[in-house]
Structure 1
């Protein structure tokens, strides 16, 4: 395929509709048009030129605005579908997700899981959709901005008469001595309107606001950077948003820190509004509501694990700092921030059960279970032993299959399935026990587990956050807004004034706000012999409408 050489001598890329230099129409379709399509200055776009190789087909696919819009629509629909059922992080953690969705929601839940909607924002196909939107933005921009830049850069002051005649704003008048002298008045007024004036052989090209043409492409750059920032959140170490429940006296590894940092909860305190001291300000509210929390805080110690120590070794820790974490007063370290978000008073810590012989109510043994570290077996001596078959920290009932369910790993309503081994029953008997509740799932038994006591302690909920993508998102958002302002509040305006073959030609073009440009031209040529431009599109429309009678029939 060869380049296209115009009559004026300028060599144009394949696919060019209007000569980049003089503006002559290079295709039969363009020659037949009453007005030129100036969206991309008639320049050649790769997607409309090449369609042979696979890379051309891929380029053409992603360069389509319709494809980009559909990618966005499909992604939005997928995001909405992801809210129908709870995401995987909100379901009970002791049940495989595949089983949970199938049991709770039937065939719909099974399909939901198989399609990856249960963990939507981390699924490979959702990330692929986001990446496809980014690719579409890049290719759409390159396909249009490069030829547009080349066409605007190569444009000359003197344009062919056919180019000016096919501009929406156009007029002509026979040249006289007066009209040529009026060029100086027009130039002066154009400068007042802050036009950049170029002259060639007595012809004038006045231009301003060209930078506004790049507004949409600046938008695209901002969106691409924003999407890159969003996708980087899935890269390990770039983004952390985890919840850490920490009980008084407890030491835990801080999630998301690659097991490098450890946090100890020394004490949790909560302060209520005093009805006497705060009566003057909050008296009415306190009388109506009752107890209201004024503040709560966690006194913590931050440790760093010795690189040579093993995971889980809390003896060889390096103390970093002590801190008091309150709402909006986080503990900050090494790009991390730990916020106080919630608390739980009197959280269950241990539960004590009695191993009873039902016939005599004789206690054969007592067992205390640490709700955060339950053991598999408990030896009660004298031939009595307990095996823990199941632990359900937040018991919420039984599934259709009879399996006990738990809503979370937090011991809000702990329940246990025991195998009770005794001299009379060496293989054991099954007993399901919870707070003040004992169930015999396999029928009548000789022994049972009876609830005796429970101990509690306070717990604090902390959010661990780290976000190394914020500055990328901020830059992307700022660039996007610059593009919005650039494309919305300015427009690219051009006015051509030429003396051709004894005629004065005046034409104008803008990418938007035609009425304003026409008013500007009226001011520039006011009280001169140069004519005001005619809106050829409006004139053609009026002529078409005048050819119809009021009842819609033709006058002819």
Structure 2
């Protein structure tokens, strides 16, 4: 693109509003303006000057403030929708199919749609990660588009500026000093500005006093922190960076730890302790009959040896023993095991007697482990029980076939084949709680329920988050940028002494004009400079006078 040659001879990139060397307005709009636009010091911004190639169009799209704000709103709306129903992490079901069923049965068709669209696990959904990625790209492009040119402009700014630049600043002053030796004016100004903690540069008869330049980088530090934070969020999708799994483990059971390859966890015992005192009135109103004092799981953590088969509980080495309690997790190598839930008195074993229905005589006892039932139970040489079907969560019949709703033995049912000396061909019987069906007619023998053995089950959460340090760093940098951008400001004062002794002064700040006016008051008082004016306040006053005149007419 063609460069813009200023009257001073300096070549400026296309799109520059103010000459990089002398500050002359280069565009018609700036030349007509009473106060020049100093947001980016008149520099050329790529997105404002290039719009021809496909890359330019993509760059301009992501550098747009409107696009960035829109992406922020879309991300916030999507995250808000994810709070309407509980996230699937908090749903106590074991399989994906069970989770889909839970949302549909609990919240109806809206819950089914909610789960199907991925709102139930929104922060891990692919489309939400794309939204976060697009927002990150927008922030990066916008920061590069504006931040790098601004940095170059501030780094290379000249001390002496053209008259047209000086007169088009918001705060200006021009005239002779009202008192004192004119030859010492610049020395007095320099001395005073240094006392006011300004960085002073002097070239001949011109002075540039600058303070708080770092405040201009506040928004970009803010952006950097946000980019780091978003990177931490996206890294959670990569294996090993973020693990948040739930595991239900029964007493006496040893299970592989999800997300922690090669480790197994054994639940030795679950302990529930209740308070002796009665519930308070408010707790009774909430339906609370007893108050838990402590619930904990005594566990053993094992690590599998290198030569063992992956996923098989063999060749295990004890790593740690611990009692997991609420807010007291087991911690190992960055992993944390939290006590989240429990289930009491789950049926472990059901004991039946094979009984003659007429005489009540028992031929023997059969004990069925519901987590590992056998196909056949032998009582003696001529008496045995074959287990033809097992339905841990019996939910009824469909087309004459028994159905099970869950793999958890909360309503077990069985199909038995009973072989005895009197019935060598065997008798079939369907046995459920309070229900017995004999499909082949009246049987001579029955499986009579005797007793059950129960055990407790603990709900644990396995958590590991390597992104926490990244999120913390990003958050700290973000807040640092917010503080810098909010509480500091960039102040600049240009002073030039003309050959006839006249002082020309201009001042600018990116915000908090009261602060720079306060410094100018102190400077004017010290050096007896001509009185400055605020051109925007003056323009506003003129406009108000014109309106009052129109109203009078």
What range describes the TM-score normalised by the shorter chain of this pair?
Answer: 0.7 to 0.9
Conserved in 2, the CA contact under 8 Å of 1:305 and 1:317?
yes
Query: Which moves more between the two structures, 376-385 or 330-339?
Result: 376-385
Specify the SS of the correspondent of 2:547.
coil
Per-residue CA deviation, residues 332-369 of structure 1 (Å, 9 max, x unaligned), is: 22222223444444343234467899999998997654
Which residue in 1 is equivalent to 2:503? 504
Distance 1:445 1:80 in 2: 60
Which residue in 2 is equivalent to 1:254? 257
Q: Please, which of 158, 161, 166 is the counterpart of residue 164 of structure 1?
A: 166
CA distance 1:383–1:183, shift in 2 (3 Å): same
Alignment pair present for 1:2 and 2:2: yes
- With normalisation by structure 2, the TM-score equals 0.83
Which residue in 1 is equivalent to 2:489? 491
Which residue in 2 is equivalent to 1:73? 73
Conserved in 1, the CA contact under 8 Å of 2:51 and 2:57?
yes
CA distance 1:386–1:169, shift in 2 (3 Å): same
Distance 2:51 2:358 in 1: 89
Which residue in 1 is equivalent to 2:24? 24
Cα distance, 1:105 vs. partner? 5.6
Cα distance, 1:166 vs. partner? 1.2
Conserved in 2, the CA contact under 8 Å of 1:47 and 1:59?
yes
Alignment pair present for 1:304 and 2:303: yes
Q: Aligned runs of 1:51-70 on 2, under 5 Å?
A: 51-70=51-70
CA distance 1:431–1:468, shift in 2 (3 Å): same
Q: Please, which of 469, 472, 476 is the counterpart of residue 471 of structure 1?
A: 469
Instruction: Give the paired residue count.
Output: 535
Alignment pair present for 1:41 and 2:41: yes
Distance 2:239 2:442 in 1: 54
Cα distance, 1:467 vs. partner? 1.5
- With normalisation by structure 1, the TM-score equals 0.83
Q: Aligned runs of 1:285-304 on 2, under 5 Å?
A: 293-304=292-303
Conserved in 1, the CA contact under 8 Å of 2:377 and 2:384?
no
Residue ranges of structure 2 left out of the alignment (5+ in a row): none
CA distance 1:373–1:64, shift in 2 (3 Å): farther
Distance 1:43 1:51 in 2: 17
Which residue in 2 is equivalent to 1:415? 411
Cα distance, 1:238 vs. partner? 1.2
Cα distance, 1:377 vs. partner? 7.9
Alignment pair present for 1:185 and 2:185: no
Cα distance, 1:118 vs. partner? 3.9
Specify the SS of the correspondent of 2:542.
helix
CA distance 1:363–1:57, shift in 2 (3 Å): farther
Q: Aligned runs of 1:401-480 on 2, under 5 Å?
A: 411=409, 414-416=410-412, 418-419=414-415, 433-434=432-433, 437-438=434-435, 452-480=450-478
Specify the SS of the correspondent of 1:525.
helix
Which residue in 2 is equivalent to 1:388? 389
Specify the SS of the correspondent of 1:548.
helix
Distance 1:28 1:480 in 2: 38
Distance 1:14 1:509 in 2: 25
Conserved in 2, the CA contact under 8 Å of 1:179 and 1:529?
no
CA distance 1:245–1:102, shift in 2 (3 Å): closer
Per-residue CA deviation, residues 396-422 of structure 1 (Å, 9 max, x unaligned), is: x999xx99785x7655xx124545667
CA distance 1:115–1:242, shift in 2 (3 Å): closer
Which residue in 2 is equivalent to 1:131? 133
Cα distance, 1:306 vs. partner? 1.4
Conserved in 2, the CA contact under 8 Å of 1:379 and 1:386?
no
Which residue in 2 is equivalent to 1:84? 84
Which residue in 2 is equivalent to 1:119? 121
Q: Please, which of 187, 194, 198 is the counterpart of residue 195 of structure 1?
A: 198
Specify the SS of the correspondent of 1:526.
helix
Per-residue CA deviation, residues 467-513 of structure 1 (Å, 9 max, x unaligned), is: 21111111111111211222122110001111246442111111110
Which residue in 2 is equivalent to 1:216? 219
Specify the SS of the correspondent of 1:156.
coil
Cα distance, 1:179 vs. partner? 4.5
Cα distance, 1:253 vs. partner? 1.4
Alignment pair present for 1:230 and 2:233: yes
CA distance 1:522–1:377, shift in 2 (3 Å): farther
Conserved in 2, the CA contact under 8 Å of 1:186 and 1:525?
no
Distance 2:544 2:402 in 1: 77
Cα distance, 1:521 vs. partner? 0.6
CA distance 1:248–1:182, shift in 2 (3 Å): same
Distance 1:232 1:330 in 2: 24
Conserved in 1, the CA contact under 8 Å of 2:391 and 2:402?
no
Cα distance, 1:315 vs. partner? 3.6
